[in-house]
Every structure is written in C-alpha cells, then in structure tokens.
Amino acid sequence: MEISVTVNGATHTSDVEPRTLLVHYVREHLGLTGTNVGCDTSSCGACSLHLDGEAVKSCTVLAVQADGTEITTIEGMAAADGTLHPMQQAFMENHGLQCGYCTPGMVMAATSLLQENPSPTEEDIRLGLEGNLCRCTGYHNIVQAVMACAAAPTA
C-alpha cells in the first residue's frame, strides 16, 4: 500500500506492506536508525517518536496508520548546523545517558512532556516518563536533565 509521510520535514512516498510497523518503516525504509526497538509489548518506549507533534510508541503504530502525518524522529531534533536541541543538550550536561539505547525515545518522550506541561514538578516528570525504560541511569540524571531543560529560559 502506498503511503506518504513527512519525516523530519521531508516528504516520503513509499509502498509498504500493511503489517509494516512505523518503527520498521523509519528504520529500514528511510534509514533513520536512531529510533530503537527494545521490546515487543509497547512497554519500553525506546521507539518513541513524534507523530503530529506528540510522542507515540512507533512499535505500536502501523506505517499505514501514519499515512499523511508529520513525524519527527531523533534525527530531526538537532538544528541543521548540528546545534543540539535544548533537551539533547540537557541530557548531555546532566549525564542523562550511558549506553544511549533508550536515549532517543527518552528525549522524544521528554520533549513531548514539556510541550504538554512546560513547568513540571519532579513528580510530574517521573510520571510523565512512566512509559520509557532505562537500564543504565537509574533515571536520576534523566529527571535532572528534564528539570534543567524546563527551567532553562526559552530563546
């Protein structure tokens, strides 16, 4: 089936099998391998990306369901000149990542969280990231990173 999606600002028209998951579409058809797969049960959030501006788990969306939507993946977060997105910068400055496998999903979930709640408490952040698992950081510095990003003056 033919679908047309805008990913990180570029429009792609592709022929996909209906059973193709959105995460496999962006990874294998578009070569955007920053979005990772960590589970089979929509539990881990490693595959989180933005669909029409909101974080979703792309392992639980069919590519055909995303037809006509606008998608942002981790590759679309930094500026064209390589300047990191404020959330990426906050993760770096607060050591919010170690192995980095959950990180793209975590960054996408965290930015979506701040869009919906620009001034979250620590509790709000912890609950807002309930759908993203990390095995390395113990979350402490991830939460610090999101708090720092929320507190930073917006340009």
Partner 1 sequence: MIPAAFDYVRAGSAEEAVSLIAEHGEDAKFLAGGHSLLPLMKLRLAQPTVLIDIGRVNDLSYVRDGGDHVAIGALTRHMDVETSDVLREHAPLLAHAASHVGDPQVRHRGTIGGSIAHADPASDLPAATLALGATYVVQGPNGTREIAAADFYEGFLTTSMAADEMLTEIRVPKMGGAGWGFQKFNRRAQDWAIVGVAAWRRNGDAGVALVNMGSVPILASSVASALAGGASIDDAAEQAAAEADPQADLNASVEYRIHLAKVLTRRALEAASG
Partner 2 sequence: MTTTDATTATAPGVIGQRLLRREDPALLTGEAKFTNDMHVPGALHLAVLRSPYAHARITKVDVSAALQVPGVRAAYSGADLADLWAAPMPCAWPVTDDMKNPPHHPLATDKVCYVGDGVACVLADSDTAAHDALEAIDVEYEALEAVTDLEDALSDRVLVHEDLGTNTSYTWALKVEESEGAVDRAFAEAAHTVSERYVQQRLIPMAMEPRAVLSMPQPFGGDVTLYSATQVPHILKVMTAITLGIGEHQVRVVAPSVGGGFGSKLNVYAEELLCVALSRKHGVPVRWNETRSENTMATIHGRGQIQHIELAADDNGKLTGIRVRLIGDMGAYLQLVTPGIPLLGAFLYAGVYDLPKAYDFECTSVFTTMTPTDAYRGAGRPEATYAIERAMDALAGEVGVDPLELRRRNFIPTESYPYEAFSGLTYDSANHDGAATMAAEMLGYDELRARQAEQNVDGASKRIGIGVSSYFEMCGLAPSRVLASLNYGAGGWEAATVRVLPTSKVQVVTGSTPHGQGHETSWSMIAAEKLGIAPEDIDVLHSDTAVSPLGLDTYGSRSLPVGGVAVAMACDKVIDKAKQIAAHQLEASPDDLEFAGGAFTVKGSPDRTMPLAAIAFEAFTAHDLPDGLEPNLEAQVTYDPPNFSWPFGTHMCAVEVDVDTGEIEILKYVAIDDCGVQVNPLIVDGQVHGGVVQGIAQALYEEAVYDTDGNLTTSTLAEYLVPAASDVPPITTGHTVTPSPTNQLGVKGVGEAGTIGAAPAVINAVVDALSGLGVRDVPMPASPLNVWNAINHAQEAPK
Please report, as residue ranges, which positions from 49 to 88 form the binding site for partner 1 (by CB under 8 A).
51, 54-57, 59-62, 64-65
User: Rounded to whole angstroms, how far apart are CA atoms 7 and 29?
Assistant: 12
Structure tokens at 113: 């969280």
| Cβ density class 46-76: b for 16+ within 10 Å, e for less | bbbbbbeeebbbbbebbbbebeebebbbbbb
User: Rounded to whole angstroms, how far apart are CA atoms 72 and 9?
Assistant: 8
Candidates 12, 65, 70, 93; binder of partner 2 (CB under 8 A) is: 93
Nearer to partner 2, 6 or 98 (CB): 98
Q: Please report whether residue 125 would count as binding partner 1 according to CB under 8 A.
A: no
Phi, psi of 11 (to 5 degrees): -90, 135
Phi, psi of 39 (to 5 degrees): -155, 180
| Least distance CB 75 / partner 2 (angstroms) | 5
Q: Please report whether residue 2 would count as binding partner 1 according to CB under 8 A.
A: no
| Least distance CB 133 / partner 2 (angstroms) | 5
Beta pairing, strands 2-7 & 70-72:
parallel
Residue with tokens 């592709």: 14
Check: CB of residue 46 under 8 Å from CB of residue 34.
Answer: no
> Helix, strand or coil for residue 71?
strand
Give the x/- contact pattern for partner 2 in 28-47, rule: CB under 8 A: ---xxxxxxxxxxx-xx-x-
Q: Which stretch binds partner 2 (CB under 8 A): 50-58, 60-68, 128-136?
A: 128-136
Nearer to partner 2, 1 or 99 (CB): 99
Residues lying near partner 2 in the complex (CB under 8 A) are found at 17, 19, 27, 31-41, 43-44, 46, 73-75, 77-78, 84, 88, 91-93, 95, 97-104, 107, 122, 125-127, 129-143
Residues within the interface to partner 1 (CB under 8 A) = 1, 17-19, 21, 24, 40-43, 45, 48, 51, 54-57, 59-62, 64-65, 109, 112-113, 116, 127-128, 130-132
